[in-house]
Amino acid sequence: MAEPSPNIAGSDTRVSPSIGGIAVAEGRSAELEALRLLEDAFGAFDRIAVSFSGAEDVVLVDLGARILGSDLPVFSLDTGRLHPQTHRFMETVRDHYGVAIETLAPDPDELVDLVRDKGLFSFYRDGHGECCAIRKIEPLGRKLRELDAWITGQRADQSVTREGLPTSQDDLAFSSADHPVKKFNPLANWSGRDVWDYIRRREIPYNPLHDQGYRSIGCEPCTRPVGPHQHEREGRWWWENVADKECGLHAQNVAEPLRIIDR
């Protein structure tokens, strides 16, 4: 089970010796593995970017910034339904790391049609698939047409749909015959405790919603706090089956991969 949020104040490797050596000396093998993977990914692909959700995956931004500094390419999906705290946290991250975060928005015409035909809360009745497709999957697919690889903050311990998650994979959902897309998951083997230990030790900013019991943060209507003995993903789409708790950004986690974006 993932670690609840804390109250925080304020070797031989290609990773910089000052970074890699300290990680090895302190026994932080997961951290070193993530840094190595990121360095390899940045070295292999020019058209690559980090996907940042505005939650505890800020760890991914911190790791990437240790390698590329303010040149780290970052994008985020603004669904139009995020918490105000998440928007403010995004600005905190921009200022803290000096990075430019590209904001991706849904197609306005599709959004207008959805709200006109089904209202603002159709996902409670019909499931979250259609809403997530418009607010998340389409903007991501649009962005990935510009990239050859992307980096996510997924972890294997986050849900049953992510068990066995590899640290790198071909993203079959967003690839096409003439444009393969690679996906890197540097935190795949991290636990929730690893994430929050890193945040504590590095004293990096985090979304204040974590201090209110939100252990997994998505859109405001589809996210709620969880109790101390609940799994973090129980606060997401709580009215649906546990096997359906993926928004479609990581379609390979739940079924035989389908190419969900028509190129």
Assigned token pair, 189: 């083997």
Catalogue the active-site residues: 247
Quickly list DSSP for the chain. -PPPPPP------SS-HHHHHHHHHTT-HHHHHHHHHHHHHHHH-SSEEEE--SSTTHHHHHHHHHHHGGG--EEEE--S-B-HHHHHHHHHHHHHHT--EEEE---HHHHHHHHHHH-TTHHHHH-SHHHHIIIIIHHHHHHHTT-SEEE----GGG-GGGTT--SEEE-TTT-BTTB--EEE-TTTT--HHHHHHHHHHHT----GGGGGT-SS--BGGGB----TTS-GGGGBSTTS-GGG---STTGGGTSS----S--
Assigned token pair, 36: 């190595």
| Separation of alpha carbons 216 and 55, rounded Å | 7
